[in-house]
Structure 1
């Protein structure tokens, strides 16, 4: 039987530094000695007392199981805030979706790029921090800090007027219960990475994926097949869209032609 790996010491140290507290400050808030806290953080407490576990779980607003069994340093800031808000897999019993991400030297989240050539690898490595770290990354100014962003390159013409080869920036969605049809990048087991208009059928626990291009039929996928959903935020295209005329412009053009024909009759 494989032994269980625990992350108590590293998680305690990670969460303290995340709150920008010294060992003295955290020890005072917890009501323990600095020596005891230091022993916990350095792994010298092989069997932490249950009182200390509960004390830290209450302070950091996470379950004891999460503090022990999940390497919190591998989670995004967005996911940690989600755990603090009470959406903890061990508290709610729901299936946790752990998002692998990368950060800058200042602990700011990058925007990772998933080009077409990396799509096959992404399907197998979307949850692997080592794979995600191999993707190109960049930063954009003035983006809200409460969202996690990722960029995907599109293929085909199913979402025209957004042409194939364009780049879609999406924000990571934890809640998949859409109130209305929403443009999203969806990562699934069988369909791969798709940029579609997405609707959620809650009673059936299925998604309807619709292309903007009417030549493509909508299709359904079960919620269990979905691995990630990224809500459309921005797009980058490599060519200007083909100019199209509105009905009003066409009507004005016809009226002008008719006027000129009337002038010729005179």
Structure 2
């Protein structure tokens, strides 16, 4: 039997449901469900999504994680898409804040929905943050001054994309990587993300490509800021003008 078949059978038995009951809810035959649970056939994408929504478990978990080994009570349930977010819990049963350092960024993209991976991360406690689910991300580059490579951004998990506000900054996670940017505006199903350093051009991300979004909730600087590195406003304006001139030249103006 496959991991997927073991998972859906485990979830059904845990809820003490019959195959007939589940099959009826999924609008398929009992025999068809039985073949899925026995690993004799694999469901099409449409049925996989139905199973995910029926059990309130993400497709990632259904396909890649042995759910029998997961504390399902330690996962966060989202309201709209019913995806469960794995989190670490400390000895008092409170949510710990996982740390995503530079070296873990690539592995995070592959393991963000894997409870075993999340449990393996180092974590800290920052009690002054209040309610919510938080995670600590290392950032790169100079696009969001005064934050620098040695800084960490504390992100608060966003359950609803519609709650994102223009002018606020976010850690956005897509299959291509993660970025810390400010939301400029929303255009239909597209987000326009901007850097505080005007030298960097805005770029667009489709809402459907977002895996996770974490709103800025604080920052930790591990190095003191060197004020000599902060460019005067006149120099910043000059850099912006140079960037515009280069863009005009490329456009043939």
What stretches of structure 2 of length at least 5 have no aligned partner? Answer: 22-52, 234-253
1:7 aligns with 2:5: no
Q: What value does the CA root-mean-square deviation take over the aligned residues? A: 3.3
Structure 1, unmatched stretches of 5+, are 13-39, 41-45, 51-63, 89-94, 248-266
| 1:3-152 matches, cutoff 5 A | 3=5, 4-7=8-11, 10=14, 47=18, 65-66=54-55, 73-74=71-72, 76=74, 79-80=76-77, 82=78, 87=79, 95-145=81-131, 147-152=132-137
**2:171 maps to which of 181, 185, 191:** 185
CA distance in 1, matches of 2:57, 2:101: 36
Matched, 1:236 2:226: no
Aligned partner of residue 155 in structure 2, secondary structure: strand
Instruction: Label 1:239 to 1:107 Cα distance change in 2 as closer, same or farther (>3 A).
Output: same
1:6 is displaced (CA, Å) by: 3.7
1:217 aligns with 2:189: no
Superposed displacement of residue 245, structure 1 = 10
Decide which of 208, 211, 225 is 2:192's aligned counterpart: 208
TM-score normalized by the length of structure 2: 0.63
3-state SS of paired residue (2:98): strand
Per-residue deviation, 1:139 = 1.0
Contact 2:143/2:195, CA 8 A, preserved across alignment: yes
Give the Cα separation in 2 of the matches to 1:75 and 1:166.
32
- Rg bigger for which structure? 1
Query: Are the aligned partners of 1:74 and 1:129 in contact in 2 as well (CA < 8 Å)?
Result: no
What does residue 196 of structure 1 align with?
181
Tell me the CA shift for residue 200 of structure 1.
Answer: 4.8
Equivalents in 1 of 2:206, 2:121: separation in Å?
A: 28
Kindly tell me: are residues 75 and 98 of structure 1, through their superposed partners in 2, closer, same or farther at Cα, counting changes over 3 Å?
farther
Give the aligned partner of residue 171 of structure 1.
156
For the Cα contact (< 8 Å) 2:56–2:83, is it kept in 1? no
CA contact (8 A) 2:153 2:219 kept: yes
3-state SS, counterpart of residue 107 of structure 1: coil
Q: Distance in 1 between matches of 2:109 and 2:215?
A: 18
Summarize deviations over 1:71-119 as a string: whole Å, max 9, x none. Answer: 6943656x34x5xxxx26xxxxxx3333111111222111000000000
CA contact (8 A) 1:75 1:101 kept: no
SS of the residue aligned with 1:109? coil
Aligned residue in 2 for 1:257: none
How far apart are the structure 2 equivalents of 1:193 and 1:208? 15
Separation in 1, partners of 2:215, 2:147: 16
More strand by share: 2
What per-residue deviation string (whole Å, max 9, x for no partner) do you get for residues 169-219 of structure 1?
0100011122422111111112x111110245252x011111111111110
Q: TM-score, normalised by structure 1?
A: 0.61
